[in-house]
Amino acid sequence: AQTVTQSQPEMSVQEAETVTLSCTYDTSESDYYLFWYKQPPSRQMILVIRQEAYKQQNATENRFSVNFQKAAKSFSLKISDSQLGDAAMYFCAYRRGNTGKLIFGQGTTLQVKP
């Protein structure tokens, strides 16, 4: 069975600095997708970034980028120039193919200090 692990329950970063959130996963599949979701205090689940396993290039969305290490089964999220609005819980998630169910990690709470 596939699993997703986020080993950092809480992280903090100074405003304007860079922070990296870690995620590892376990799978024997070759076709899968990886995601980072943000959950602010409003509780809404917001897709931050996604990565297709077959793509070697790391995904980037503005200040958010990933370090996808397929052999190591690692998928970390880097937030550059952190802003107060980045404070939230972040979930790493795995999906097998286009129809597999989304499997989540435990979440990491990010605090941004002014």
Partner 1 sequence: DAGITQSPRHKVTETGTPVTLRCHQTENHRYMYWYRQDPGHGLRLIHYSYGVKDTDKGEVSDGYSVSRSKTEDFLLTLESATSSQTSVYFCAISETGTYYGYTFGSGTRLTVV
Judged by the rule CB under 8 A, the positions of this chain that interact with partner 1 are 4, 6, 9, 33, 35, 37, 42-45, 47, 50, 52, 91, 93, 95, 98-99, 101-107
Q: CA Rg, the chain, in Å?
A: 14
Taking the least distance from each CB to partner 1, the nearer of 16 and 47 is: 47
**Cα–Cα distance measured from residue 36 to residue 48, given in angstroms and rounded to the nearest whole number:** 5
Query: Least distance to partner 1 from the beta carbon of 39, Å?
Result: 8
Taking the least distance from each CB to partner 1, the nearer of 57 and 114 is: 57
**Cα–Cα distance measured from residue 61 to residue 81, given in angstroms and rounded to the nearest whole number:** 13
Query: Least distance to partner 1 from the beta carbon of 72, Å?
Result: 21
Query: Least distance to partner 1 from the beta carbon of 37, Å?
Result: 7
CA distances from 107 to 1, 14, 38, 93 (A): 19, 20, 9, 10
